[in-house]
Structure 1
Amino acid sequence: MKQISITTTISVYNSIEELSEFELQMMQKAIAVRKTAYAPYSKFKVGVSLVLDNGKIVTGSNQENAAYPSGLCAERVAIFHAGSAFPNSKIKQMFISASPENEELEVPIPPCGACRQSIAEYEMKQEEPIAIFFMGATGEVYKTDSLKNILPLLFDKKYL
């Protein structure tokens, strides 16, 4: 038997004020769209803004459904919209803000497993990493330069 050690690097900003002016604007868009989420069951709202290589900004919020598997997370709403509306564009950056309705979480909330797999698909499709910034409602912002940093042993088409 042998062991494999996997390490990753994530940048930590103490608050959104430490982001560049453009990054701050994109995170503010994620925060604003988070407030439009349809989350009557979980009461957990997520907002995302994407920056595409063509200069377009795409946003998304989570959309729940009483038949739970029928809803979609904010990350996938935004990614799938970008893929549909701008099929030849690459996603350069993703900004995520997440928090329950009844409190202001101050800890960064990363994408769920299903969303990580969807982000991985687009990184592989475009053959270029996507920088991901994520936070709660307030507080620290984490940044990873690629989905591979938070999903190092990803499943991709080479296994199919």
Structure 2
Amino acid sequence: MPNGDAQTFSWHLDTELDDESFGLHGRKLFFIIALFSILLVFTTLFICGRWLCRRHGLLPTTFDSIHAAPPLPQGLDADAIKKLPIILHQAPPSGPSRTAEETECCICLSKFNDGEKLKVLPGCDHCFHCECVDMWLMNHSNCPLCRASLKLNSSLPMILIEEPPIRSYNL
């Protein structure tokens, strides 16, 4: 709605921008030249420093050697894994409650069935399915449950034991 009190704005396009308003004079020009010179000196020093370090063998020369993956942790060798004792799982008589550690494989999380072959790790006596613990031990040299280091003796039996180790169950 037009109102008599409202002011109208008129745009003046007839004025042109002159080059003097964008000019660099005096201090502005000095500071821009000084900043550019400092930047150029530091860039030159950085490039010369890298070249000298590479020449004296302090820096790798290729991109691949900078970002090379760290070596993978070594597991046990196949002979040491085969020497681990194997038992047949037998559920203890009903009565005392068993912990989950004693009834299931913590690698695949499935329960131990009667008559299944289980490998017992020396030192901690934790049991696992043979296939599960074999894959684990190819890449690691410790127990997957308690992380105890496996120091194998050559005197460990390689035979199938008929009865599981005796464990005491506290109520």
TM-score (norm 1): 0.22
**Larger fraction in strand:** 1
Is the radius of gyration larger for structure 1 or structure 2? 2
